[in-house]
Chain A
């Protein structure tokens, strides 16, 4: 039993910030081995990890090497981008009906905001390609050189997750088109909720896998510095998307109350509610991304220790 608790405790140490772990992980693991924690001890690890994220302290956060700080910031930016991407997908899905296109033709603010969301998405994808591809390339090279199969697994994990989400999605689309009549509400829920959970798991995997890859692979400072620079473009893209979403939601509420109240999904919330909730998530993610971007740039400017 104590071995199980020690294993859980070791996993929970992974919840702490990277910089914290760099400073305290080895000694804390030694303590966990010497004194396997009970339930209270496990709870203290969760509370401690939350506190460390909420209040980073100079004793460990500023002692972390610039590489670690860049790595953490770049991964943080990417996680925020995944959140904004999910919101973008919801936005695209909610506004794909022809009525939104007609509304855009009549009210240019809607069309401009919609275009800005797409423009921001393109800019963000370019920034991810410029900053992320060299990192992935180096990680692949290292995985091959070290024959590190776990690293290989982590590298292919997002692709596997996307396939696991895309395959049932395209199957559902085909079935929906071919079925005569719409399924009843309960049947829709029985399909929609598992699909939604798979989608969220896919997004979480895509957000967390890079963190695990960069925690395992030794990537160069040059690639991390390039990714830090690209994170500026990514932050700009997220600002554009968030601002455009705010404008779109406000404009839709004032010029298209009928479209705002549309309910298309089986869960019930109107298009307006979904867009407003998504916009709130996008704005919060953008704020976090700006903080991460600033940290990345500061870390990139620090001398190598």
Chain B
């Protein structure tokens, strides 16, 4: 992924997608997001990766920070974030459906 792609909300990295998907279920702070992503996708995001994604998404106004609770600051997805996440997941769903059907067709032919 190039620097240009990285700034394009239509082409995110997996961490950004995982963070948005996690926040689609409600606002969370860093540790809650890490735990939720482990449960949802079996992926453990390191602190540098998580905060890199959070800074990027906040910069793109796809998420926003809420008032800090002690040292922990929760984040929530914005309306723009929801729209872009939906578009991304729809694309992924279509790709997954097509790929799986092709795999099954190849399996039955073999």
Contacts and interface: CB of A to CB of B under 8 A. Distances in A.
Interface of A: 9, 20, 24, 26-32, 34-35, 37-38, 40-49, 51-52, 55, 57-60
Nearest to B46: A44
For chain B, give the interface size range.
Answer: 20 to 34
Interface stretch (B17-25, B51-59, B90-98): B51-59
Interface of B: 3, 29-31, 34-35, 44-52, 54-56, 58-59, 68, 70-73
13 contacts: A24-B51, A27-B68, A28-B30, A30-B31, A30-B72, A31-B51, A40-B46, A41-B46, A42-B46, A43-B48, A44-B46, A46-B48, A60-B55
B47 to A, nearest CB: 5
Given A27-B29, A59-B59, A45 B48 contact: yes
B47 A44 contact: yes
A34 B47 CA distance: 11
A10 to B, nearest CB: 10
Nearest to B58: A59
B3 A55 contact: yes
Contacts of A57: 55-56, 58-59
A45 B51 CA distance: 9
A38 to B, nearest CB: 8
Contacts, number: 83
The DSSP consensus for interface residues of chain B is helix
A59 to B, nearest CB: 4
B80 to A, nearest CB: 14
B71 A24 contact: no
Nearest to B63: A59
B56 A45 contact: no
B34 A35 contact: yes
A205 to B, nearest CB: 27
A24 B31 contact: no
A46 B70 CA distance: 26
Contact of B34 (A9, A31, A40, A59): A31
A51 B71 contact: no
A15 to B, nearest CB: 10
A26 to B, nearest CB: 5
A51 B72 contact: no
A122 to B, nearest CB: 41
